[in-house]
């Protein structure tokens, strides 16, 4: 047996407490009416159809069973609704073919098909896709639920309330002009933004419905379930305007308070010849109640109209609160209540399109080392500190400015350039902030944009300010920097290069070349350095000095570096198969690549997969890498050495190496930078630095190789100084794998001859 309707009428669900017009007894459907309630389910999930019909299929509502009509897409529903008759309730999924397919269908039902009677209950399995403000405002939507909250009882209650509403609308529509007033009133109410505006609109619409002057008060009771019974005034009209924005008490209006408390206690509307009290059962632990003075008693039909109107207003109040909550969540920071990034962009766009643009400045205010303070003293302390900063920015800089919070510890100040002044803003941080009895000294770094010099959108201005902020932080903390056009060009070029590099890597425009390394005594090749090159489709070469820093900045160097390592190892294996057994392959490793947590695993896997012998693979790291966090590097190099791979320090002599650390690094070879090789013949200092490196290598038992050798005189001097190895244009330019194989074979033949 299906559960009885009677016990549900006494439940705490808001809808079940609404009072409707007189209901027909079972089996008393009038001529032309169906003996069932037709419920249309529109959802692209078949399980939703089956679970809904299973939950409601055997139940009677308002003395009639339900008949279900199924549509599995918004498009199918459009076609069916052109022909289907007497659909009482539509259970409509918000997200179907598109994220807002359900909302567009609501517009089609109300505007194109002109179906004003059918009740629409929006449902969604994705709470992030809430009904848009326009849809809620413009159309008669009965309810909005997430699928997870629609248990069997709540689903039954929600559909029952919708059917009751549909039944009463149909009855009134057949016999009373009041329906059009109710629909019009509801529509007009939904155009009002904010709960207080909506509440004031309710009083106006009550007066229109009963044809009397507006004289009343509407209150909200917060958290009644928690025992809080205070009534806060939301809207007033007529003689009650004296009660604006206060708590309703017996001293202020004893008769009003008594009438409201009675309606709330009985959870129903109370009609009196001289006044009426309307109860709007709200959700989220909030109840609304209105007191309205009457010039004459209400007729029975007026009372019935008000019952239906109240059911709509209850839903409307919930929807307005939902929209207000969504609006605040979307446009305002939840901690400080300041405008967030999204709202700031809107304000910037308005400023840029108005006369204030020429004298306006935008400043980002980044708190220095806030993360350390937050971690050390706790997030609650950090939140109080952020609130203190927000309060000081708002109170000290002037009410004409816009202060926003767009990130964790980043605020924004927008306004006249005279007030958005770096000196004024930074001066605010000279005085410590008192938080929970503790003084905290903060500093800030600023990135500023003069909007009069800016041609783009608000979002672009914010990006430019961020660029200026990064430049300021790179130079010094507690400073500031103004954005300039040259900075924008530099950043945009970097971004363009980054995207182009990713595309080039995916389209095989990058390749590896090899520069032979030579024994200076025998002039025979002993190895090669693998070098990455980029050639665009139009034949142009991009210098590694340009694209390697971009690869490191973007993180692409991780994939690029692994690809170079594997390519070079495969080439080493081919060369060994061709008979070049005593041949070393040197491969550069960037700092970003070297610091990656899986670098060691990547190296071992590459050696295993390619079959390259580790003892003939050399990794080159720069001297600056070797000296940054040397203790960590020593540990890492020790693990790399266990694989059998050798280590060389590239560009040696350009940094400030500590010899004590150099001895502990377990390196195998020093590489003399090309600048010192050039000095051998082109500088008054001659070979002093090159000679020092060669001597240092000899003393430490390290191999030494010179790079950038371009003429025979440099080669002879290096050889005389005791440098055993060299590479450079004098011997061979970098070449691709095929050319290297041919070059080595020719060298072998010449040696044999």
Q: Would you say residue 29 has pLDDT above 50?
A: no
Alpha-carbon gap, residue 288 to 220, rounded angstroms? 4
Q: How far is CA 695 from CA 172, 556, 699, in A?
A: 105, 38, 6
Higher per-residue pLDDT: 543 or 659:
543
Alpha-carbon gap, residue 649 to 636, rounded angstroms? 14
Q: For the chain, percent helix, then strand, then coil, each to nearest 5?
A: 50, 20, 30
Higher per-residue pLDDT: 64 or 149:
64
* Cβ proximity of 448 and 483 under 8 Å: yes
Residue 586's pLDDT band, with cuts at 50, 70 and 90, is very high
Mean pLDDT for the chain overall: 82
Buried b (16+ CB within 10 A) or exposed e, 267-289: ebbbbeeebbbbbbbbeeebbbb
Which pLDDT does position 302 carry in this prediction? 79
Q: What is the SS3 assignment for 22?
A: coil
Q: Would you say residue 384 has pLDDT above 50?
A: yes
Q: Considering the chain, what percentage of its residues have pLDDT values greater than 90?
A: 37
Q: Would you say residue 136 has pLDDT above 80?
A: no
Residue 179's pLDDT band, with cuts at 50, 70 and 90, is very low
Tokens 């030579």 found at: 518
Q: What is the mean pLDDT of residues 243-250?
A: 84
Other C-beta atoms lying within 10 Å of the C-beta of residue 174: 9
Q: What are phi and psi of 700, to 5 degrees?
A: -90, 0
Q: What are phi and psi of 6, to 5 degrees?
A: -55, -50
Residue 511's pLDDT band, with cuts at 50, 70 and 90, is very high
Q: Would you say residue 591 has pLDDT above 90?
A: no
CA-based R_g, the chain, Å? 39
Which pLDDT does position 22 carry in this prediction? 36
- Give all domains of the chain, ordered by start, each with its CATH number: 1-174 (3.40.50.2300), 176-331 (3.30.450.40), 341-483 (3.30.70.270), 511-532+559-752 (3.20.20.450)
pLDDT in tens, 605-616: 999 999 999 999
| Sign (positive or negative) of CA dihedral 495, 465, 448, 409 | negative
Q: What is the mean pLDDT of residues 636-653?
A: 87
Please measure the distance between the N-terminal and C-terminal CA atoms of the chain and give it in whole angstroms: 106
Q: What is the SS3 assignment for 251?
A: coil
Residue 364's pLDDT band, with cuts at 50, 70 and 90, is very high
């Amino acid at each position: 047996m299906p559960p009885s309707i009677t016990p549900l009428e006494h439940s705490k669900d808001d809808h079940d407490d609404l009072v409707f017009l007189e209901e027909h007894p079972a089996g008393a459907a009038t001529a032309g009416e169906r003996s069932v309630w037709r419920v249309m389910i529109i959802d692209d999930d078949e399980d939703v159809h089956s679970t809904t019909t299973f939950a409601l299929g055997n139940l009677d509502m308002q003395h009639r069973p339900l008949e279900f009509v199924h549509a599995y897409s918004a498009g199918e529903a459009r076609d069916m609704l052109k022909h289907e008759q007497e659909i009482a309730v539509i259970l409509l999924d918000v997200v179907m073919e598109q994220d807002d397919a359900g909302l567009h269908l609501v517009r089609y039902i109300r505007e194109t098909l002109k179906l004003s009677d059918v009740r629409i209950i929006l449902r969604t399995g994705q709470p992030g896709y809430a009904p848009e403000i326009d849809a809620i405002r413009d159309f008669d939507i009965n309810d909005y639920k997430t699928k997870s909250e629609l248990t069997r009882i709540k689903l039954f209650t929600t559909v029952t309330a919708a059917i009751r509403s549909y039944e009463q609308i149909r009855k009134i529509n057949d016999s009373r002009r009041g329906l059009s007033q109710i629909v019009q009133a509801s529509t007009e109410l939904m155009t009002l933004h904010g709960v207080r505006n909506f509440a004031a609109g309710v009083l106006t619409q009550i007066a229109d419905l009963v044809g009397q002057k507006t004289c009343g008060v509407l209150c909200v009771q917060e958290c009644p379930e928690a025992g809080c019974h205070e009534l806060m005034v939301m809207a007033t009209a007529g003689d009650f305007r004296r009660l604006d924005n206060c708590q309703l008490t017996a001293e202020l209006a004893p008769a009003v308070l008594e009438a409201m408390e009675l309606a709330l206690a009985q959870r129903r509307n109370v009609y009196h010849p001289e006044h009426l009290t309307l109860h709007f059962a709200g959700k989220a632990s909030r109840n609304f109640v209105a007191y309205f003075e009457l010039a004459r008693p209400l007729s029975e039909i007026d009372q019935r109209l008000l019952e239906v109107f109240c059911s709509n207003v209850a839903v409307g109040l919930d929807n307005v609160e939902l929209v207000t909550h969504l609006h605040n969540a979307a446009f305002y920071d939840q901690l400080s209540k300041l405008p967030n990034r999204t709202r700031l962009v809107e304000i910037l766009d308005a400023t840029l399109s108005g006369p204030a643009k020429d004298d306006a400045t935008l400043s980002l205010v980044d708190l220095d080392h806030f993360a350390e303070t937050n971690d050390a003293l706790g997030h609650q302390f950090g939140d109080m500190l952020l609130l203190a900063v927000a309060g000081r920015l708002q109170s000290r800089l002037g009410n004409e400015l816009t202060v926003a919070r767009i990130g964790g510890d980043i605020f924004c100040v927008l306004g006249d350039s005279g007030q958005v002044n770096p000196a004024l803003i930074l001066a605010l941080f000279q005085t410590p902030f008192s938080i929970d009895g503790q003084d905290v000294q903060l500093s800030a770094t600023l990135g500023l944009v003069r909007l009069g010099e800016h041609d783009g959108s608000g979002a672009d201005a914010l990006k430019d300010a961020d660029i200026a902020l990064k430049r300021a932080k790179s130079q010094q903390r507690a400073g500031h920097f103004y954005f300039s056009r040259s900075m924008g060009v530099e950043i945009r070029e970097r971004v363009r290069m980054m995207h182009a590099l990713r595309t080039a890597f995916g389209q095989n425009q990058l390749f590896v070349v090899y520069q032979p390394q030579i024994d200076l005594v025998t002039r025979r090749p002993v190895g090669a350095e693998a070098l990455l090159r980029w050639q665009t489709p139009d034949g142009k070469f991009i210098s590694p000095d340009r694209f390697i820093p971009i690869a490191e900045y973007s993180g692409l160097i991780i994939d690029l570096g692994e690809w170079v390592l594997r390519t070079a190892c495969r080439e080493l294996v081919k060369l060994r198969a061709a008979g070049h057994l005593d041949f070393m392959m040197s491969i550069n490793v960037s700092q970003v690549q070297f610091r990656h947590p899986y670098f060691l695993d990547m190296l071992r896997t590459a050696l295993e997969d390619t079959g390259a012998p580790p003892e003939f693979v050399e990794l080159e790291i720069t001297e600056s890498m070797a000296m940054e966090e040397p203790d960590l590097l020593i540990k890492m190099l020790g693990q790399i050495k266990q694989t059998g791979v050798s280590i060389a320090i590239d560009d040696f002599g350009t940094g400030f190496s500590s010899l004590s650390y150099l001895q502990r690094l377990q390196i195998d070879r020093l590489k003399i930078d090309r600048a010192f090789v050039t000095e051998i013949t082109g500088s008054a200092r001659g070979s002093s630095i090159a000679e020092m490196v060669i001597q240092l290598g000899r003393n430490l038992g390290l191999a030494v190789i010179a790079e950038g050798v371009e003429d025979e005189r440099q080669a002879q001097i290096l050889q005389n100084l005791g440098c055993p190895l060299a590479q450079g244009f004098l011997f061979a330019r970098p070449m691709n794998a095929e050319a290297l194989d041919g070059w080595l074979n020719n060298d072998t033949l010449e040696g044999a001859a």
